[in-house]
Amino acid sequence: MRVVVADDSLLTRAGVAYLLNQSGYTVAAEVDDARALLAAVHAERPDLVVVDIRMPPTHTDEGLVAAERIRSEHPRIGVLVLSQYVEPAYAMRLLRDHPERVGYLLKERVFDQAILVDALRRLADGETVIDPTIVARLLGRRRAKDPLAALTGREREVLALIAEGLSNKAVAARLIITERTVEAHVAQVFGKLELLDDPASHRRVLAVLAFIRSGRPQDGHA
C-alpha cells in the first residue's frame, strides 16, 4: 500500500517513513507542509496519508484542513492525523463529516511500529481509530442529553475499546471475556443506538461517531 507522510519535522517524517518501509508499505512521498501534501495526494493517489495537525505557516490547523479536504475529495484514501497534544475538539471536527477511514493518534504512539501498522490497516479496512487518551478524556465528560445513556457500564466499556480501533477479539482479550460475549455486547450497543444492519453503512464506525459526539461539550470547545 502507498502512503504519503506529511510533517514539518524532518525527524518525525523520516522516522515514520522508515517504520512504514520496514513494514512493507511504499512511501510515495514525504512532504513538510499542507500545500505540498495536497499536491502529492493529487499526483500519487496514495491509499493512506499520515499528517500532523499543526503545519506551516501558522502551525495551527493546516494539517487538519488538508485532511478534511482529502477525505472530502478522495473518500477511498485513509487519513491518520497526528497531534503532539490531546485535542478532542480536533478529532471530533474531523470525524463529524467523514467518520470512516479516519484515525487520530498522539504523535508519540506512531513510533511504536505495531501501533502504527495496526492503525493504518484498520483505516484501510474502513474503520475509525482514536487514541486511547482521547477516548479516556471523552469518557470523563457527560452531556445533558447523552445518546449513550441507555448503555450499561460494560457496553460503554466495549464501545470505548471499539473507538480505539480494537477488534472483537482484541476487546475480549482486554476485558478477559469471551469473544461471543463481546459480540453480544456489540449487538446490544447497535440495537440501543438504533443502528440498523444496512449494507450501505458501517455500524462500528457509526457507533464510534455516536460515542465521540456524546463526549462533545455543549459549547463545542475542548
50 CA to centre of own chain? 11
β-pairing, 2-6 with 26-31? parallel
Alpha carbon distance 57, 54 (integer Å): 9
- Are 125 and 165 within one domain? no
| Under 8 Å between Cβ of 64 and 88 | no
Instruction: Render pLDDT for 152-200 as a digit per residue (tens, 0 to 9).
Output: 999 989 988 888 878 899 999 999 999 999 999 998 988 888 776 655 4
Alpha carbon distance 177, 143 (integer Å): 30
- Take residue 37 and report the three cell numbers written for it: 501534501
- Are 17 and 60 within one domain? yes
Residue 93 one-letter amino acid? R
- Are 88 and 149 within one domain? no
Report the percent of the chain where pLDDT is more than 90. Answer: 49
- Are 94 and 194 within one domain? no
Instruction: Render pLDDT for 39-55 as a digit per residue (tens, 0 to 9).
Output: 999 999 999 999 999 89
CATH code for the domain of 15: 3.40.50.2300
Question: Which neighbouring-strand residues pair with 51?
Answer: 6, 81
Tell me which residue range forms the domain holding 161: 137-214
Three-state SS string across 41-96, please?
Answer: HHHHCCCEEEEECCCCCCCCCHHHHHHHHHHHHCCCCEEEEEECCCCHHHHHHHHH
- 220 is a domain residue: no
pTM confidence score? 0.69
- Are 21 and 100 within one domain? yes
